[in-house]
Amino acid sequence: MTTRIVAGLVENNRLSGDLQEFPENVDATNGLIEVPADNLCEFICEAIATHVSRASKVEAAGVAMPGYVHHGVLLDSPNLPQMKGARAAENIRANLLRRGIDIVVRVFNDADAVAAGIAATRGQMDRSVRVWTIGNGIGFGRYPWTEGPWEGGHMVVTLDPKENYCGCGGRGHLEGILGHRAMRLRFLDMEPDEVFAAAKKGDRRCREFVELSHRALAAATASQIHLEGPGRFYYTGRDIQRLDILLLRQYLYEMVKMSPLQSYTAEIIPEDPSLAVIGAGITAAIADKSNGNS
């Protein structure tokens, strides 16, 4: 959601109709990062209202946003700083009520929504799914959803004090290495795609960075394996084409040596905005039913 808002109607764990983008004239360079919080809320409500008008009945609206979400409040969001502290669910619901739309609104971390979308579309809703989303920032999502920060992109993967490119201001973070914004700060003379292209041509500085970025992602994944156990790990997002899955697996093999923890899988999924939309929708519906609503 840092570059655009994508919305759709979800029925029976699948999209019903096409996705739509809001707003249509978003700045391709800065995306939504400079859109005031009130305007962003208005765009979200416009997207929800558009799809509510197409359906005979809507159980709930799920909104996936980058950052630390707790009970509908965006406690922090380095990639949408204007939303820090926003009572997102409450504000969106109030705005919808003014439009005459009375539905439950749930707000989730965007990577968690992607994990739920992967579980739903792959028939894996009976098992654990973990996903890394690679884009302007780095997200870590898990399904089934569990209360907690789960800010995996801010996991410390290096003790080098010079690694201070993360948008949150912390040092040594995965997002400070692999995030698009962080790469632009690191290579002021090159765009991230140019860095990876130059690495393939043998540029030493770029090749060393590509190795560093893959080691960092492997370290973050290995830490999750050592904390929560092995299982399925997926990698997706806007910049997923830069990831070399064979190199990542090589580094994972070097980092995870306890035999009971080696039954993990690592798989790339091409970017698909529908995954987050589906995941946000079904997670909102599940949360609504668990609270006793029909």
- Concatenated DSSP letters of 177-236: HHSHHHHHHH-TTS-HHHHHHHHHTT-HHHHHHHHHHHHHHHHHHHHHHHHH-S-EEEEE
pLDDT tens-digit profile of 138-151?
999 999 988 888 89
pTM: 0.92
pLDDT at residue number 22: 84
- Whether residue 124 contacts residue 114, with contact meaning beta carbons closer than 8 Å, is answered with no
Contacts of 121 (CB under 8 A, 6+ apart): 13, 14, 275, 278
Domains identified in the chain, total number: 2
Is residue 120 domain-shared with residue 35, that is, in the same domain?
A: no
Q: Which whole number is the average pLDDT over 91-110?
A: 96
Is residue 209 domain-shared with residue 134, that is, in the same domain?
A: yes
Structural domain that includes position 10: 5-110+273-290
Q: Is the pLDDT of residue 101 over 80?
A: yes
pLDDT tens-digit profile of 102-139?
999 999 999 999 999 999 999 999 989 999 999 989 99
The pLDDT confidence band at residue 291, using thresholds 50, 70 and 90, is low
Is residue 261 domain-shared with residue 278, that is, in the same domain?
A: no
Q: Which whole number is the average pLDDT over 243-259?
A: 98
pLDDT tens-digit profile of 162-214?
999 999 999 999 999 999 999 999 999 999 999 999 999 999 999 999 999 99
Q: Is the pLDDT of residue 160 over 70?
A: yes
Look up the CATH number of the domain holding residue 89: 3.30.420.40
Residue 120 is encoded by which pair of tokens? 């739903």
